[in-house]
Amino acid sequence: MKILISDAFDPSLPSKLARFGEVFDDKERLPEADVVLIRSKTKVTREYLDNAPNVKLVIRGGVGLDNVDRETCRERGIEVHNTASASSVAVAELALALMLAIPNRVIEGHLSMKEGKWLKKELKRTELYQKTLGILGIGLIGTEVARRAGAFGMKVIAHDPYVKAHDFADMVPMDDLLGHSDFISIHTPLTEETRVMLNAAMIARMKDGVILVNTGRGKVVNEADLAAALESGKVRAYGTDVWTSDPPDPSCPLLKAPNVFMTPHIGASSKENLLRIGDVIEEILEKKTGD
């Protein structure tokens, strides 16, 4: 079996998979590959697959499959897997990190001190305790966020059309989530239903001064509408790991909007998660080969 590692994984992965066959990372050798391992950078489009006649299996290290043309894979009998179970804690911790850093003014405190300023009076903090967190999409990652937010004494509500009841959150209609949340954390996949779902009309239904955190997908928000809401103060802050493209185009309005706190799509990039992703890939290949 020939395995192409097309994106960045833990350096231990090639030796972990060596027992299944030849493992290489030379993308020029795509036409030889039986298995392709990707993260978010490689786009498995119809054209990509045209150049991969032997591929029977695509494994996405991570969760979102929006960079894989699953329809074409289905047509060509190519199996597609992700490693969904591996990444939940890593992404949930980043969502919580943003949720803690923003109202605690950690980033402004750090940056202003680097500039020689002492903003002790100016940097007023607010707490998570007794605030309402609205989770949009309560699957694997949303669940880990809900569990941890409860430990901070937050009231956790969630909206998810496919989940009726949850152990760590009260399930509510979308309008209630928008109207009652002090924080909204986005954990939906990118689908036709969720694409630019958070637009001006939805933002208008949110509480004034809401803090949004997005570790789901950048394309779930309408960037221009959100930038306008940050300018007006309707949305107090936006903490985001995800963008409409990686990296964001310089014209992305959120890069210039006030109170945007950013990370470069590192939700799944904890050391521990990269090791777990490797373990899940090994399990998938074990099942395939019976090895």
Binding site for ligand NAD (CB under 6 A): 62-64, 84, 87-88, 91, 136-142, 159-163, 187-191, 193-194, 215-217, 241-242, 265, 267-268
**Strand partners of residue 58:** 36, 80
Between the two ends of the chain, the Cα-to-Cα distance in Å is 12
**β-strands 210-214, 170-171 pairing:** unpaired
Minimum distance from residue 274 beta carbon to ligand NAD (Å)? 12
Minimum distance from residue 92 beta carbon to ligand NAD (Å)? 9
Map residue 9 onto helix, strand or coil: coil
Residue (123 or 255) nearer to ligand NAD, CB:
255
Q: φ, ψ for residue 269 (rounded to 5)? A: -95, 25
Residue (106 or 262) nearer to ligand NAD, CB:
262
Residue (103 or 139) nearer to ligand NAD, CB:
139
User: Using CA atoms, how far apart are residues 112 and 114, in angstroms rounded to an integer?
Assistant: 5
Residue (216 or 278) nearer to ligand NAD, CB:
216
Minimum distance from residue 109 beta carbon to ligand NAD (Å)? 25
Minimum distance from residue 201 beta carbon to ligand NAD (Å)? 15
Other CB atoms within 10 A of residue 175 CB: 11
46: CB partners within 8 A, 6+ apart: 69, 72
Tokens 């990296």 -> residue? 247
Residue (140 or 224) nearer to ligand NAD, CB:
140
Q: Nearest to ligand NAD by Cβ — which residue?
A: 139
